[in-house]
Structure 1
Amino acid sequence: MLMHKVKSIGRRFGVEMNRYSPVCDQYDTLVFLAGRHGAGTMLDVGANIGQFGARMIRAGWSGQILSFEPLADAHAALVAEASAHRRWQVAPPLAIGAEAGTVDINVAGNLLSSSILPMLARHSDAAPESAYVRTETVKVLPLAEAIADRPESERYFLKIDVQGFEAEVLRGAAPVLPRCPLLHIEMSLTPLYEGGSLLCGLVGDLAALGYRCIGLHPGFHDPDSREMLQADGIFLRDDA
């Protein structure tokens, strides 16, 4: 009865209280899986201001982190966040894609939803603060080129959060995927970006690359319809 009252009070303030289980905690699970499969370096593609890296560190991540973020404002905040951690390195401002070059990236009002792809109304209607406010021209490199100077013996946990550009990142990462036993990818369940990848297609593409989906966690929801629009997927390589 007491716990029920405490939960009711918490919900009034937007806080949900449940018994903690490490099995249900995606960050705890990622730390566990990376350790089990020998992935000592996290490649943080689409790092934004460092939220994911910081959460992983709080969950017990003790390996190296190499973060990639193209946007100037987000990159500056990311560098500040990473500076407090000896093993966290931030690459120069850089987008990760399939081919080397430059590209105009759309900057969202909330920074989080910024993308190389045009945003669809389904996204901006559900989150008006995510509407684009400007563009920036950024350098693009395939992941394999961006980490070409790292030891060939290194094994990676690859995290991808690129707002519809996931397939392009995977194309450019192909040469290093055999050294990536563990992937974490934010995926859209419904079209949110013009030409963007969707969950069903990515699951199939990753299966063809030798990965199976072993976990899904809720992400971005439409507050009006309560539909889930994005989810985080955890993928393990079959030969890991």
Structure 2
Amino acid sequence: MPTLQRKLLGLLPRIGVRVLDLGSGAAVLYRRGERTRVPMGRGADLVLRGGAEGWRSVPLGDSGARLVLDESRAAADERRFQLAAASYLCGQHVTALLDRYAVNCVFDVGANAGQYGRQLRRLGYTGRIVSFEPTAEAFAKLSEAAEEDPDWWVYQVGLGREDATRSIHVGWNTMNSLLPPSDYGKDRYKRFAKTRTEEIEIRRLDGMMDKALAGLGDPRPYLKMDTQGYDLEVFAGAGDRAGEFVGMQSEVATLRLYEGSPRMGEAIAVYEGSGFEITGMYPVSREAATGRVVEFDCVMVRAAAVPAAD
């Protein structure tokens, strides 16, 4: 026998209200467009505007999480889908590590317009962020991103092996570099065809650390580097103080975009020689034609620095 609720739901279309019955006493009422239901398991459903053709819910192992896919679009551009998934997973992994290692200061080297800092805040990190960006245009955007966040400090300097004044190639969007493009880089990115340079200040990382860590009773810093082929130079500038970082993240290249930049194996060997160990490798860019990975985000920790369990 229909319940009173069912009877009411049956009457609503007569007055122009459409009903999507979700069962178990739940329904969605709407006037315009279509609504469709994608079952998510364990009593949860996703309600979509428009048709549900091609949409499905995929369990991610036994994690309890599920992935909702528009299968036709994901299959049409597998490379973009994989890179988007890697970016998401990298962010989740880094945020978990910051919590696990009780990080209270993230050094954001090569901050550009503040994309990394904003991501950290979105993902729940509340500790100090110290961002370094040398180029004028990007630094203006970085300053704006951080201006209402008192625990996000910004410096208009680059970091490297020695204190110096250098010329940096600009006008390459997020790929501005102290290094010139390689032949491979020129073939891959049209933006490298035109360039202009800007004079910037370079400082050693070890000379900036006391200022960045000021006021922290028990500093537990994490080092993120994304400097377009210059990460090893930044790391060299940490000197003996590299041992103070409990974790780190570096963009490592399997294919050289910049002249003189290290290959992935060389960079990782240096980091491992300083006591870091890999916890994750996430593709940043891939060739569409061949599928080869161009660059990875390499996430590492100093295992001995993990706090003792309570």
With normalisation by structure 1, the TM-score equals 0.88
* Alignment match of 2:133 (pick from 60, 65, 69): 69
> Residue 144 of structure 1: SS of its match in structure 2?
coil
Pairing 1:224–2:224 present: no
| Structure 1: gaps of 5 or more residues | none
Shift of 1:69: 0.3
Indicate the RMSD between aligned Cα atoms, in angstroms. Answer: 2.5
1:13-36 CA distances to partner (integer Å, 9 max, x unpaired)? 96859xx99xx7211211211121
Shift of 1:68: 0.1
Are 1:107 and 1:132, in contact at CA under 8 Å, matched by a contact in 2?
A: no
Once the two structures are superposed, the pairs formed by residues 84-103 of structure 1 within 5 Å of their partners are 84-91=148-155, 93-103=156-166
Pairing 1:27–2:76 present: no
- In 1, Cα distance between the equivalents of 2:288 and 2:193? 16
* Alignment match of 2:264 (pick from 189, 199, 204): 199
> Residue 145 of structure 1: SS of its match in structure 2?
coil
* Alignment match of 2:222 (pick from 149, 157, 160): 157
- In 1, Cα distance between the equivalents of 2:301 and 2:130? 20
Q: Which amino acid aligns with 2:186?
A: S
Shift of 1:38: 2.1
Q: Which amino acid aligns with 2:103?
A: A
Q: Which amino acid aligns with 2:188?
A: A
Larger Rg: 2
Q: Given the superposition, is the C-alpha separation of residues 112 and 130 from structure 1 closer, same or farther in structure 2, using an over 3 Å criterion? A: farther
Structure with greater contact order relative to length (CA < 8 Å, sep ≥ 6): 1
- In 1, Cα distance between the equivalents of 2:148 and 2:230? 30
1:190-235 CA distances to partner (integer Å, 9 max, x unpaired)? 1221110221111111111001111000112223333211110001
| Structure 2: gaps of 5 or more residues | 1-37, 39-51, 56-69, 306-310
> Residue 112 of structure 1: SS of its match in structure 2?
helix
Q: Which amino acid aligns with 1:26?
A: C
How many pairs were matched up?
A: 234
Once the two structures are superposed, the pairs formed by residues 103-122 of structure 1 within 5 Å of their partners are 103-109=166-172, 111-122=173-184
Which range is displaced more, 175-184 or 59-68? 175-184
Structure with the largest fraction of strand: 2
- In 1, Cα distance between the equivalents of 2:194 and 2:159? 20
Are 2:243 and 2:274, in contact at CA under 8 Å, matched by a contact in 1?
A: no
Q: Which residue is 2:42 aligned to?
A: none
Q: Which amino acid aligns with 1:63?
A: G
Q: Which amino acid aligns with 1:101?
A: A
- In 1, Cα distance between the equivalents of 2:249 and 2:53? 34
With normalisation by structure 2, the TM-score equals 0.69
Shift of 1:85: 2.4
1:32-91 CA distances to partner (integer Å, 9 max, x unpaired)? 111211211110000011111111111111111010001100000111111232321111
Q: Which residue is 1:53 aligned to?
A: 117
* Alignment match of 1:37 (pick from 74, 80, 101): 101
